[in-house]
Structure 1
């Protein structure tokens, strides 16, 4: 039986249009220079509609970041070997973490906020487990559970939260690592270290090559 496709409501369509305008504006102007009027003009609606939907520009930026993280998680998940293949759950989890760090650094939206308004991004990532981190944490937990189910991860292995902190550490250290030309190596090492800590790494290298 085919699952019914979700038809976005008028409110969901409106909010998506606002977030599209917010994300585009951040990339073009940076978050400090972006105004509600800029967003309203780009989205083809009034400034009051933007405020009613988003509450504030800071909140609109955070919602745009959450959507960015959600989409990044989906992209990384789509690149992983399918469950049930010869690649273990432990390897799939390790690959997810390395690729997740790369996605974070590759995001123009995240980079713009980090460059122009770091005081908005840093507490969002380091001061609390906000919605963006909850999305990543849920994906890690799902992969960890799958590894436990197939026997490639011991139930006593590092928790999903610990693995999130490892991923976040590499991602937040990206400016320093990139300055030294070490980011790509560190991302690969993150994958290998997690695989080594969780399980047999025999199939990690072949999965990375495919």
Structure 2
């Protein structure tokens, strides 16, 4: 493997956070007095920026989208964030990567950075990551591309051919390519092969076992 710096997405890549996100979305929809959408429709909100989904998929104004995000956080921060599980095999993979002297691993998530830190602490995996970058509440860093840029700004300079982004949705691929780095898509998360292939993902794996083999040469 030629990749020496690995940027991991969080939701849908390291952990299955769907339960907490979905329950918090339904809570926010109820508080807004909106018609309850189907579960299949709402599941498309898991992964992409909620702000964009609220505006583009629900047709909310920016003001109403901000209000709905507030309601979402009202339930998600104290409760939903913990309705979350690591995918099987993830922790052993991180432990093995941590033992590799020529590999460094990082977090690059569009989730608010404070929430990402809470999740990593909850699963007791934060020490494996050299740096953690996420979105900021002030909107300065919002998209996956901006998150990756902010991470590249603080790591030791390296040939971008040695950096790999790992994620499950199209915005992971787009963000990586906008920053000149490769992206590996995982198919056990919330995206699909069609979604990832249409944005020219560089590599695809079906499960954590295949991911381990790709990264460690098993």
* TM category, shorter: 0.3 to 0.5
Q: Which one has a bigger Cα radius of gyration?
A: 1
Flag the structure with higher helix content.
1
- Using structure 1 for the length normalisation, give the TM-score: 0.32
Flag the structure with higher strand content.
2
- Using structure 2 for the length normalisation, give the TM-score: 0.31
